[in-house]
Amino acid sequence: MDKVKYLYDTMGLPPGKTFQIRRNAEPPGRRTELHYHDHYELMFCLTGQLPYRVEGRAYLLQPGTALLIRPYRLHQAVTSKVSVERIALRFQAGLPGRLGKEALTSLEEQASRYDDLFLLDEETRKRIYGVLSDLLREEAEEKPGRAQMEDALLTQLFFYLYRASRQEREKVRLPEERQLQQVIEYMEGHLEEPVSLEELARRFYMDRYQLSRCFTRQVGCPPHRYLMYKRLQRAALLIEEDHPVSQVPALCGFVDYSNFYRRFREYFGVNPGEWKRQKIAGR
């Protein structure tokens, strides 16, 4: 199986580009580890079915659906038994608002935190496919006015998604899923504090073994590993924001620097100082 090596997906956008679009196929049996990136990712499914996990929620990407993954959200594609063809659009945070439309800004700011899957009707699906196909052609051809045409097409796309997000549709969430979301929110709100499986089980009235099994099945990793991912993610962001590296571990729940250093290098492929230098160089 192919795997993402590190927690942070370094496959960012090309230099000077605000978006990247590709048409690709997910082969049967392929699975990625939990990871995140600093931009949006929109996946529009053409054929097949691909289960996805995003921050503890399970989605099924299939024809007639589009999945929008927001920046810094841990996610992974789960193994599929069949090939899945899709169009993937990656774009910078703030791009909808940069196009100057209030409704497009609302797509980012007002959408529900867990409302990532768009269930598209036939007409909207055809329109979005047409826009994405035109964007693919613009990317492949060097024609006059290409940048302006791309902006116009992206504006159309974001409006279609905004309208789809406003439509009333049934949302079914199992009691187990709702409870696990509460667990995740608690963990994210207490990253700088000691959080044990026993404490979580007591707080949410669950057997610790049942909690661990349900969490792993729904999220894709055990609670302690998810907590480590989130602490490291916060550490990386704090370092990018020029916090002194020596102060970051205590702000993210690490009791000693050596453990923090080892974990950071393990999950990001570089040590904290190198991470800071890379981010400064990329500004």
Nearest to residue 134, comparing CAs of 159, 160, 152? 152
Check residue 86 and give its pLDDT: 92
pLDDT over threshold 60, residue 115? no
Check residue 4 and give its pLDDT: 42
Strand partners, 43: 67, 88
Check residue 224 and give its pLDDT: 93
What is the tens place of the pLDDT at every residue in 253-283?
998 999 999 999 999 999 999 998 888 776 5
Check residue 1 and give its pLDDT: 36
pLDDT over threshold 80, residue 39? yes
Check residue 2 and give its pLDDT: 41
What is the tens place of the pLDDT at every residue in 74-96?
998 887 777 889 999 999 888 87
Give the contacts of 14 (CB within 8 A, at least 6 positions apart): 20
Lowest mean pLDDT across 1-15, 30-44, 52-66, 129-143: 1-15
DSSP 1: -
> Which contiguous run of DSSP H or E holds residue 108?
helix 102-109
Looking at residues 57-71, what average pLDDT do you find?
88
pLDDT over threshold 80, residue 71? yes
pLDDT over threshold 50, residue 181? yes
Label the pairing between strands 50-54 and 84-91: unpaired
What is the tens place of the pLDDT at every residue in 230-247?
999 999 999 999 899 999
| Cα–Cα dist 215/74, whole Å | 14
Check residue 106 and give its pLDDT: 61
Give the contacts of 264 (CB within 8 A, at least 6 positions apart): 232, 235, 236, 271, 272, 275
pLDDT over threshold 90, residue 198? yes
Check residue 95 and give its pLDDT: 84
Residue 127 CA, chain-centre distance (Å), reads 25
pLDDT over threshold 80, residue 171? no
Check residue 90 and give its pLDDT: 93
Mean pLDDT of the chain: 84
> Can you give 140-177 as a three-state secondary structure string?
HCCCCCHHHHHHHHHHHHHHHHHHHHHCCCCCCCCHHH
Check residue 3 and give its pLDDT: 41
Type of residue found at 59 = Y
Check residue 187 and give its pLDDT: 93
> Where is pLDDT greater, at 47 or 107?
47
Two tokens, residue 187: 């963990």
